[in-house]
Chains A and B, each alone.
Chain A
Amino acid sequence: MRRFLLRRLVHSIFVVWGVVTAVFFLVRLTGDPAVFLVDQTATREEIAHTRHLLGLDRPLSTQYLEFLAAVPRGDFGRSIRERRPALSVVLEHFWPATVELALVAAVLATVLAVPLGIVSATHKDHAADHLSRLASLFLQSMPSFWLGLLLILLFAVELQGALPAYGAGTWRHLVLPAITLAAAPLAQNARLVRASMLEVLHNDYVRTARAKGVPEGLVLYRHALRNAAIPFITLSGLSLGFMLSGAIVIETVFSWPGLGRLIVQAVPARDFPVIQAGVFVFALVFIAVNLTVDLLYAVVDPRIRLS
């Protein structure tokens, strides 16, 4: 267990190093932020002075080494647009806005998928099953941002503002973005729960439980669902990562003040420090989620030994 954690930690550090290095060089290829900071009439000297103030005139290797040394301290430099520490700007957008949105969507996608998948499996090839599978297929086949536009069209335009189309602040602002973000993972989860339940329900221990008179509800939840949970946990982990990614577009659709939208806006503004800090936070969350998923396996299925 301890060795497992240690190995994963070393691996995680390696991945984070790779991500920040890739981003460091990537953003420097996008162009010169100094040009954006001065007004259009600025002379070449003024631009050069701005570059100097930002430290962009030093050799790339020096910049890179200083950058690497500063990352463990959480120092990504100051946001070029907002002129304060980039990591604080990023964290303000990450928490609570993006976390709130992703968590509510993840809970929606999980809580609704389990009963849907179970009903589908226990009523295989009946109307309820067909309906739920058809709905899943549709939800998986549409771009999530388009679903968002349709929801805006319905709730904000046709129903004259039954729910707000953009902004944040109250729970009502959260409804449409959360549903939009949850839709595709919900469909995927429901399909997966159905498939694993179908597989598990054939097993002898389920037949035994039924034979000895265990009520059907208990058979499903205690005997079947627990054994069907492993692939579901994997997928939930993956879909949380997917949600962070999806948040990039969904936040833009709903003008949700989260990290995804911040990064989308920072790229054309060439706000290097914010892009670097934002991608760093994304990568950390992703790695943490994956690690949690691996640890959860052992909790759900004691037969799995972490090594």
Chain B
Amino acid sequence: MRRRRDRAAVLGLGVIAAAVLVAALAPVLAPTDPLKGDLLERLSPPAWAPGGALAHPLGTDTLGRDVLSRLIHGARVSLIVGFTTVLIAGVAGVVLGVLGGYYGGRLDEAVMRIGDIQLAFPVLLLGVALLAVLGASLGNLIFVLALSGWITYARIVRGETLSVKERGFVEAARALGAGDGHVIRRHVLPNVWTPLVVVATFSVARMIIAEASLSFLGLGVPPPAPSWGAMLDEGRNYITTGWWLALFPGLAILLVVLGINVVGDWLRDLLDPRLERGI
């Protein structure tokens, strides 16, 4: 059992590493310019399908752009958004959660109440409304998704901080003259990071899907820049004439998210068996 999970995790890590590599080397790997189309070759099917050509292994879209090249470049958007949002939301959530849990008082009260209000907002609704205000761009997309994510980290960290700060070793450290900064750095943070790593891993997967959803609604990175969600949005309108347009970007998302989720499962078992029942 354990060994099978380990093997799956290695596979998952391999998929993630491959995706990162593809994103980093996109200009080298992509066979053609992802933005340049040839209208004479529009809606050409994948190479193995009748009417397909080897020049475009995964076919072309409605403007005659190479689907494979767009997929390769689209990996950049998905991975950048997935990792940076989790990083930003994580740092903000940890800081607010630790401060709130450690000092309590008004700050704590305010942070938790804002969190309550935010949780009554479906994430996508917040995204749709905010992006309509801010305009669609990569930076705004990251901002909106990070804004929707911080509360999870803040809650976890706050809860752990509350329980850690009552423990004997914290009291001992304080009795020896340790300041708040020292206690937080040396005693609180090391005790909260395990659940955080697990939640953050799954969150990268969720953020990649959220990015795709917002792009699908036309609120992501503006065209013609390639993003997997936006490619699916374009593919939706040509589902009867170009099935490949709706198929491949989704497969790419599935593969990357699957890899991340498998690694997340493995991390959860490894770091904190208590979390097994969690969500």
- A residues bordering B, Cβ < 8 Å? 11, 14-16, 18-19, 22-23, 26-27, 29-30, 125, 137-138, 140-143, 145-146, 149-150, 152-153, 157, 165, 188, 192, 195-196, 199, 231, 235, 238, 241, 244-246, 248-249, 252-253, 263-264, 267-268, 275, 279, 282-283, 286-287
Known: A19-B120, A146-B250. Contact between A29 and B125, CB under 8 A?
no
* B205 lies within 8 A of A26 (CB): no
* A26 lies within 8 A of B130 (CB): yes
B236-270 contact mask (Cβ, 8 Å, vs A): 1 or 0: 10011001001101100110011001100000000
* B129 lies within 8 A of A153 (CB): no
A15 to B115, CA, bound (A): 10
A29 to B130, CA, bound (A): 9
Q: Does B277 contact A (CB under 8 A)?
A: yes
* B240 lies within 8 A of A157 (CB): yes
Stretch at the interface among B173-181, B184-192, B208-216: B208-216
Within 8 A of A (CB), among B105-143: 113-114, 116-117, 119-125, 128-130, 132-133
* B121 lies within 8 A of A279 (CB): yes
Contact of B254 among A138, A195, A199, A286 (CB under 8 A): A138
State how many angstroms separate the Cβ of B182 from the closest Cβ of chain A.
36
* B121 lies within 8 A of A283 (CB): yes
A85 to B66, CA, bound (A): 48
A30 to B128, CA, bound (A): 11
Chain A residues near B28: list those with CB within 8 A.
none
A245 to B114, CA, bound (A): 19
Can you name 10 A-B residue pairings with CB atoms under 8 Å?
Answer: A15-B120, A30-B133, A143-B212, A145-B213, A145-B232, A165-B239, A249-B213, A268-B132, A279-B125, A286-B119
* B253 lies within 8 A of A142 (CB): yes
Q: Does B46 contact A (CB under 8 A)?
A: no
A26 to B216, CA, bound (A): 22
State how many angstroms separate the Cβ of B256 from the closest Cβ of chain A.
9
Known: A137-B261, A249-B216. Contact between A146 and B133, CB under 8 A?
no
Contact of B122 among A145, A157, A196, A248 (CB under 8 A): A248
Given A29-B133, A137-B262, A279-B121, 16 additional A-B pairs, CB 8 A: A11-B116, A18-B117, A18-B120, A137-B261, A141-B257, A141-B261, A143-B232, A145-B213, A146-B249, A153-B246, A157-B239, A195-B277, A231-B277, A267-B129, A279-B125, A282-B125
* B125 lies within 8 A of A143 (CB): no
The majority secondary structure among interface residues of chain B is helix
* A157 lies within 8 A of B132 (CB): no
Chain A residues near B279: list those with CB within 8 A.
188, 192, 235, 238
Q: Which residue of A lies closest to B250 (CB)?
A: A146
Q: Which residue of B lies closest to A196 (CB)?
A: B277
Chain A residues near B125: list those with CB within 8 A.
245, 248, 263, 279, 282
A19 to B120, CA, bound (A): 7
Contact of B258 among A141, A252, A283 (CB under 8 A): A141
A138 to B236, CA, bound (A): 21
Q: Which residue of B lies closest to A242 (CB)?
A: B122
Chain A residues near B132: list those with CB within 8 A.
30, 267-268
Chain A residues near B121: list those with CB within 8 A.
19, 22, 279, 282-283
Contact of B261 among A140, A157, A252, A283 (CB under 8 A): A140
A142 to B235, CA, bound (A): 16
State how many angstroms separate the Cβ of A291 from the closest Cβ of chain B.
12
Q: Which residue of B lies closest to A145 (CB)?
A: B216
State how many angstroms separate the Cβ of B134 from the closest Cβ of chain A.
8
Q: Does B276 contact A (CB under 8 A)?
A: yes
